[in-house]
Amino acid sequence: MNRIAALLAVALLLAGCLGDSDVDRARMPRFEAPAPASAPRVALVLGSGGPRGFAHIGVLKVLEEAGVHPDLIIGSSVGSMVGALYASGLDAKSLERMAYDINVLEFFEFRLLSGNLATGRAVQDYVNNHVHGETMEKLKIPFAAAAARARDRQLVVFNRGDTGLAVRAASASPGQFEPVTIDGEKYVDGDEASPVPIHAARLLGAKVVIAVDVSAYEQDTPPGVPAEWVEKDARRAKQVRAEAPEADILIHPNIGYFAGHNEEYRRRVIAAAERQTRAKLPEILAALAK
């Protein structure tokens, strides 16, 4: 038992010693304004939502089948993870297979056993492994990750540098993950500033914006849920409503209130998002035809 305890202590110590980033300065996530001539025609905006983000795959499946190919993908939180993987060249069917195979234990950190917040390094490594270490500017589709600056919750967009680190910062949900330090500044989940970063897509020059909101419908809130959940849902809904008029299409599938991790949940939310996107397809095609 003493040997096991010693090994566990070492593992906890090593986990606690992981730096916020171990990337070269040249790969540090940053923003570079795109040239006006390269402004995207169609931007796909993928929103926050944790496990609810599996629904983004259903949207991608339908858009792909319809021949709708974004020139820019921008995402907050889990939307940045799905967006980065898709931007790397993985098609919707590949993402769906990955969704059914993913094991949440891949993201477990030993430091959680001692009550510490997760570092998110597992998220960074997962993304970088699947994009084969490519930086954001080298992905097949232009990509941007939306994070929030920790000190003032202002939106910050990364479109250059280490893809996994940018996604890690954009997904660092307060209370679950430590803030992520990039070039001396701390960042947290993009959900805090812009759950569905529609305005940022417009600022990047998009002519047509297709946005996906996977958050719960406020009217579906069951009685007895914690007050902080209600407050967070209300804050998120308000932020989305403020940006929604800038989207040509807003896809908001009703995938239920409670999120889950098992395969049945993943299949259900992907299917629900497919149905909603098919229903919106005439509007999407009309917007693209303008």
On the 0-12 / 13-18 / 19+ scale of CB atoms within 10 A, 287 is middle
Which pLDDT value is given to residue 111?
87
Neighbouring CB atoms inside 10 A of 236's CB total 22
Distance of CA 114 to the CA centre of its chain: 27
For residue 42, the cross-strand partners are 208
Which one-letter DSSP state was computed for residue 116? P
| Residues assigned a catalytic role | 77, 189
User: Is this model's pTM higher than 0.75 or not?
Assistant: yes
| Separation CA 76–CA 126 (nearest Å) | 17
Terminal Cα distance for the chain, rounded: 70
Q: What does 1-41 look like in DSSP terms, one character per residue?
A: -HHHHHHHHHHHHHHHH--S----GGG--B--PPPGGG--S
Tell me, letter by letter, the H, E, C secondary structure of 114-173.
Answer: HCCCECCHHHHHHHHHHCCCCEHHHCCCCEEEEEEECCCCCEEEECECEHHHHHHHHCCC
For residue 201, the one-letter residue type is: A
* Secondary structure element (H or E) that encloses residue 182, with its range: strand 180-182
**Token digits for 186?**
């701390």
pLDDT per residue as tens, the chain (290 positions): 344 333 233 233 333 333 345 788 889 999 999 888 788 899 999 999 999 999 999 999 999 999 999 999 999 999 999 999 999 999 999 999 999 999 877 888 888 888 899 999 999 999 999 999 999 999 999 999 999 999 999 999 999 999 999 999 999 999 999 999 999 999 999 999 999 999 999 999 999 999 999 999 999 999 999 999 999 999 999 999 999 999 999 999 999 999 998 999 999 999 999 999 999 999 999 999 98
Which pLDDT value is given to residue 36?
82
**Token digits for 81?**
């993870």
Neighbouring CB atoms inside 10 A of 150's CB total 20
Q: What are the backbone angles phi and psi of residue 216, rounded to the nearest 5°? A: -70, 150
| Separation CA 211–CA 196 (nearest Å) | 7
